[in-house]
Structure 1
């Protein structure tokens, strides 16, 4: 069983996610997952918190890997105080009142001979709405795309260079905001 169970603990000086600083200060991140014998299906939990308690996050994830493709679903919930969304009801899965979001991520890695990776991520459900919690507000389907090239790969460390941008798959007249920023193509 231990061969199918993974645990990871990381300590960082901040938490960056898709160009957004989620938390500053000392951050502790852990993950616990279980995968099948061929490492095709991986299911687990990811947790992040900072030492002063202003950032707390708990995520569930399910990943499928086949050769160079990876498809992942992340159910993300942030408990941080002062949030402008519902962060008091962990088991709330109502589209109009939940504080969570479901992120679907498709990645393709060209392999070691050409170390380029392409990622497409779309928020399918949750707090990615034009008017948070208003009746009739529709989902933006905010999308983040990224191209990453591994410049250097050593046993002890790697160097990657990436460029990413955002847009929405749904449009509302006069509103060009995304989950990540006030306008497409940029991050906060």
Structure 2
């Protein structure tokens, strides 16, 4: 796993050296809901990345305002026409489980490693289907066998006047981190709108209504982007 992290860092640096497109931004959210799971309270979520010829490398983080709960992710994405490939390294650290970043022991690490793929049908009908599977890291069932936790999502973007919207539905096919068997774990409706502050500055704000049928929970998240 150390070699994997080193490779991602090297690729990030290499893309940065070649790229003219570097981005940095941050979201402020009322709560952190990820794939239908409650992952934290109000927090700031910054990102830093680069784009080069369809390849994107970026670092994404999440830090709560009240508690010492942190997440830092390293990601690679490659987009070719309607197909996008993903490779993600998630690292989480909470007050209850203060994992060390460079501990890669699969049963005691705070890391999980995931690969995925997404496909958009067409620009005229932009329905997207994505699949993600954890292949390494701390991802085990109660019987100590690797869970191969997986998540599949279908999403469709649309707009209502000047509001960008999207609907999504996600399920897990088997026992893993999302559920103990096949279950629909995420149904969401999101909306994003540009609030014009001055003639030269607009502030994107967004809201998202999320339901997790498996956990019988409903969430509403409000956020803004810088």
Query: Which residues in structure 2 correspond to 1:39-78 (within 5 Å)?
Result: 40-78=54-92
Note if contact 2:87-2:116 (Cα within 8 Å) is conserved in structure 1: yes
* TM-score computed with the length of structure 2 as normaliser: 0.68
- How many positions carry a matched residue from both structures? 169
Decide which of 94, 104, 125 is 2:105's aligned counterpart.
94
Per-residue CA deviation, residues 5-44 of structure 1 (Å, 9 max, x unaligned), is 11111111111110111112x21001101221x2x11112
Q: Which has the higher strand share?
A: 2
* Cα drift, residue 153 of structure 1: 6.6
| 116-125 or 47-56, which deviates more | 47-56
Change (3 A) 1:184 1:54: farther
Query: Which residues in structure 2 correspond to 1:3-82 (within 5 Å)?
Result: 3-24=20-41, 26-36=42-52, 38=53, 40-82=54-96
* Cα drift, residue 96 of structure 1: 3.0
Separation in 1 of the partners of 2:62 and 2:163? 23
* Cα drift, residue 67 of structure 1: 0.8
Separation in 2 of the partners of 1:163 and 1:186? 8
Note if contact 1:178-1:184 (Cα within 8 Å) is conserved in structure 2: no
* Cα drift, residue 178 of structure 1: 1.4
* Cross-structure match for 1:180: 178
Separation in 1 of the partners of 2:48 and 2:139? 27
Note if contact 1:118-1:146 (Cα within 8 Å) is conserved in structure 2: yes
Q: Which has the higher helix share?
A: 2
Per-residue CA deviation, residues 23-74 of structure 1 (Å, 9 max, x unaligned), is 12x21001101221x2x11112101111112421011111111111111111
Separation in 2 of the partners of 1:153 and 1:5? 31
Query: Which structure 2 segments of 5+ residues have no match?
Result: 1-16, 186-214, 216-226
State the SS of the aligned residue for 2:182. Answer: coil
What RMSD over aligned residues (CA atoms) do the two structures have, in Å?
Answer: 2.0
Note if contact 2:33-2:39 (Cα within 8 Å) is conserved in structure 1: yes
* Cα drift, residue 181 of structure 1: 2.1
* Cross-structure match for 1:158: 164
* Cα drift, residue 180 of structure 1: 1.1
The runs of at least 4 aligned residues of structure 1 exceeding 3 Å deviation read none
Query: Which structure 1 segments of 5+ residues have no match?
Result: 169-176
Separation in 1 of the partners of 2:130 and 2:46? 23
